[in-house]
DNA sequence: AGGATAACCAAACGATCGTTTCATTTCGCA
DNA sequence: TGCGAAATGAAACGATCGTTTGGTTATCCT
């Protein structure tokens, strides 16, 4: 059987190394030795080390944005849009876990390259538009600031790279469903609405301080 | 007036550089020139570059954990505990923004030093215990998996370092309140409970594809 | 005042990094 | 089979990094 092209091996080795040690702390020799060649030979495939980073990251970044673009162009109710956007986000993080992790750790926020910040902004704006639809239609009455609510959802989703691992005991679908229930239903799902913010009263410690050692 | 000690200047310069460029991409010369001295002179204050990272990060990491420890030892209702934990988390992120950002970007997940992973695990477990209290008491009926729900909340909170900036137009208190309302009340706050997950039906695009350029 | 100690300068070292160069091998194909 | 291009080997270069060393200046204390 024809083994995958050498280029794919290089990208996968680079992605794994970038995710584990970070881009700056990864040397080209790390990547070269992982695929069994000399670091100078990598330059038959790339022009610079940063080329590797962009090649690793481009695919999932475009895919996750395109999926939200298509979803935004439907006329589904906002609740269903949020549900599908959440599922889509989790699914892409699951099936392209290493690449997506590198994107979130090395691109999002860190580098100010205009191409990527534009994608980040568009993704945020599309999702915020969905939230605003729900606010305007009266469905999302708990939202006082749509942008903050959107960023809260994105934060939960992107933080997955810090604890989720494909193939682990928690399946991506369960996580997506739990996220949806949480954000659409909230922790509290009762007839009576959750009590709103109240003024902070001083904490009175009732149990003795039990120090934990682990 | 006596200016703050040189040590503090060094730590602040290191923290700012670490947050902006990352630990590995920051050179000791960057830090030294920021405080106006030669890089070799830094070794009168440190033993290694990593000492700077730990010194930057230790304060807020211990503070945020201690606050949750104290809160966990009260007998407040779970709803109020979640609210106060969220406020506390946001407040510390606000008042120690640079230090906390370095922690989340360079320590959490990346390095496997047992001291820090133990703190992360304890923080997660304490917060999860609060969520479980709410599940057991029937208040948090939307939670099917307490650990996932807890990680969703932590993700929203920690992702603040990617978009929040102290002194910006959004105040920390507003953000904390919005987060609380979201997680306690959910996006939807109605008499009828949010419809649960439904099977995915194919998306039918109704509007023509409108490509965005920015 | 003066000595001890902290604070800092200035230069250098060895290691490592990204990149370049050129030789050599491997492979597709006529 | 043989040729040209792709792929890799092998070594080296210049730059930069963390760290060390030794000397110099400033500061504090009695």
Could you read off the pLDDT of A10-57 as tens digits, one per residue?
999 999 999 999 999 999 999 999 999 999 999 999 999 999 999 999
Q: Can you say whether the dihedral through the CA atoms of A4, A9, A11, A12 is positive or negative? A: positive
Q: What is the pLDDT of residue B62?
A: 95
Say if residue A114 is exposed, middle or buried (CB neighbours under 10 Å; 0-12, 13-18, 19+).
exposed
- What Å value separates CA A45 and C1' C30? 27
Q: What is B140-175 written as a DSSP string?
A: -TT-S-HHHHHHHHHHHHHGGGGT--TTSSS-HHHH
Q: What is the pLDDT of residue A9?
A: 97
Q: How far is CA A165 from CA A160, A162, B180, in A?
A: 8, 9, 28
Taking 80 as the threshold, does the pLDDT of residue B75 lie above it?
Answer: yes
Which bases in strand D are touched by protein, i.e. have an atom under 7 Å from a CB? 6-12, 16-22
Q: What is the tens place of the pLDDT at every residue in A131-172?
A: 999 999 988 888 999 999 999 999 999 999 999 999 999 999
Domain range summary for chain B, segments of one domain joined by +: 1-46, 48-188
CA B190 – CA B187 distance, rounded (Å):
10
Q: What is the pLDDT of residue A138?
A: 86
* Partner-chain contact B188 A160, CB within 8 Å: no
CA B178 – CA B129 distance, rounded (Å):
22
Taking 50 as the threshold, does the pLDDT of residue A211 lie above it?
Answer: no
Mean pLDDT of B41-54: 97
More confident residue, B189 or A193: B189
Say if residue B4 is exposed, middle or buried (CB neighbours under 10 Å; 0-12, 13-18, 19+).
exposed
CA B184 – CA B196 distance, rounded (Å):
17
Say if residue B21 is exposed, middle or buried (CB neighbours under 10 Å; 0-12, 13-18, 19+).
middle
A65 in contact with chain B, both atoms CB, cutoff 8 A: no
CA B200 – CA A87 distance, rounded (Å):
10
Taking 90 as the threshold, does the pLDDT of residue A105 lie above it?
Answer: yes
Q: What is the tens place of the pLDDT at every residue in B179-201?
A: 999 999 865 654 333 443 344 44
Quick check: B48 CB within 7 A of strand D? yes
Mean pLDDT of B126-150: 93
Q: What is the pLDDT of residue B198?
A: 41
- What Å value separates CA A29 and C1' C15? 15
* Partner-chain contact B159 A155, CB within 8 Å: yes
Chain A residues whose beta carbon lies within 8 Å of the beta carbon of residue B151: 156, 159, 163
Of the candidates A126, A108, A183, A131, the residue with the CA atom closest to the CA atom of residue B152: A183
Taking 90 as the threshold, does the pLDDT of residue B206 lie above it?
Answer: no
Which DSSP letter does residue B185 get? Answer: I
Taking 80 as the threshold, does the pLDDT of residue B166 lie above it?
Answer: yes
Mean pLDDT of B12-35: 97
Q: What is the pLDDT of residue B161?
A: 97
Cβ neighbors of B156 (< 8 A, separation 6 or more) are A151, A152, A153, A155, A156, A159, B179, B182, B183
Structure tokens at A59: 């695919």
Cβ neighbors of A23 (< 8 A, separation 6 or more) are A53, A102, A106
SS3 at position A66: helix
* Partner-chain contact B73 A207, CB within 8 Å: yes
More confident residue, B69 or B109: B69
CA B150 – CA B145 distance, rounded (Å):
9
Question: A residues 85-114 near B, CB within 8 Å?
Answer: 87, 105, 108-110
- Count of CB atoms situated within 10 Å of the CB of B27: 13
% of residues, chain B, pLDDT over 70:
85
| CA geometry: angle B90, B99, A197, nearest 5 deg | 5
Cβ neighbors of A133 (< 8 A, separation 6 or more) are A78, A81
> Dihedrals φ, ψ of B4, to 5°?
-60, 155
pLDDT band for position A204 (cuts 50, 70, 90) = very low
Taking 90 as the threshold, does the pLDDT of residue A126 lie above it?
Answer: yes
CA B107 – CA B111 distance, rounded (Å):
5
pLDDT band for position A201 (cuts 50, 70, 90) = very low
CA A76 – CA B204 distance, rounded (Å):
9
The phi-psi region of residue A36 (left if phi > 0; otherwise alpha if psi is between -120 and 50; otherwise beta) is: left
CATH C-level class of A1-46:
mainly alpha
Chain A residues whose beta carbon lies within 8 Å of the beta carbon of residue B85: none
Structure tokens at A109: 């926020």
How far is Cα of residue A70 from the mean position of the Cα atoms in its chain? Answer: 18
As a residue count, chain A comes to 214
- Count of CB atoms situated within 10 Å of the CB of A99: 25
CA A60 – CA A93 distance, rounded (Å):
8
Cβ-defined contacts of B26-33 (< 8 Å, 24+): none
Structure tokens at A19: 């995710």
pLDDT band for position B38 (cuts 50, 70, 90) = very high
Q: What is the pLDDT of residue B146?
A: 93
Taking 70 as the threshold, does the pLDDT of residue A206 lie above it?
Answer: no
Q: Cα distance from A54 to chain B (closest Cα, Å)?
A: 18
Tell the residue number behind the tokens 């980040």, with chain if given: A120
* Partner-chain contact B185 A193, CB within 8 Å: yes
Taking 90 as the threshold, does the pLDDT of residue A191 lie above it?
Answer: no
Q: For all residues of chain A together, what is the average pLDDT?
A: 87
Q: What is the pLDDT of residue B80?
A: 94
Chain A residues whose beta carbon lies within 8 Å of the beta carbon of residue B208: 73
SS3 at position B37: coil
Q: What is the pLDDT of residue A194?
A: 40
Q: What is the tens place of the pLDDT at every residue in A4-15?
A: 589 999 999 999
Q: What is the pLDDT of residue A186?
A: 67
% of residues, chain A, pLDDT over 70:
85
Mean pLDDT of B126-151: 93
**Which B residues 82-121 have CB within 7 Å of strand D?**
none
Taking 60 as the threshold, does the pLDDT of residue B15 lie above it?
Answer: yes
Mean pLDDT of A81-104: 97
Fold held by B48-188: Tetracycline Repressor; domain 2 (1.10.357)
């Amino acid at each position: 059987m024809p083994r995958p092209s050498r280029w794919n091996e290089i990208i996968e080795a680079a992605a794994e190394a970038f995710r584990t040690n970070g881009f700056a702390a990864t040397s080209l020799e790390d990547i070269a030795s992982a695929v069994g060649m000399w670091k100078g030979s990598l330059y038959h495939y790339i022009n610079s080390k940063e080329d590797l980073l962009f090649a690793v990251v481009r695919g999932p970044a475009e895919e996750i944005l395109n999926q939200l673009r298509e979803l935004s162009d439907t006329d589904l109710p906002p609740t269903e849009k949020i549900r599908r956007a959440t599922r889509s986000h989790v699914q892409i993080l699951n099936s392209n876990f290493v690449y997506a992790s590198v994107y979130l750790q090395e691109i999002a926020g860190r580098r100010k390259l205009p191409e990527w910040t534009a994608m980040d902004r568009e993704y945020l704006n599309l999702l915020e538009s969905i939230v605003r639809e729900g606010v305007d239609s009266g469905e999302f009455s708990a939202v006082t600031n749509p942008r903050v609510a959107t960023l809260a959802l994105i934060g939960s989703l992107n933080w997955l790279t810090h604890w989720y691992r494909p193939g682990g005991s928690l399946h991506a679908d369960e996580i997506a469903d739990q996220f949806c229930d949480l954000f659409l239903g909230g922790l509290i799902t009762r007839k009576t609405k959750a009590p709103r913010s109240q003024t902070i009263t001083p904490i009175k410690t009732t149990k003795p301080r039990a120090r934990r050692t682990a």
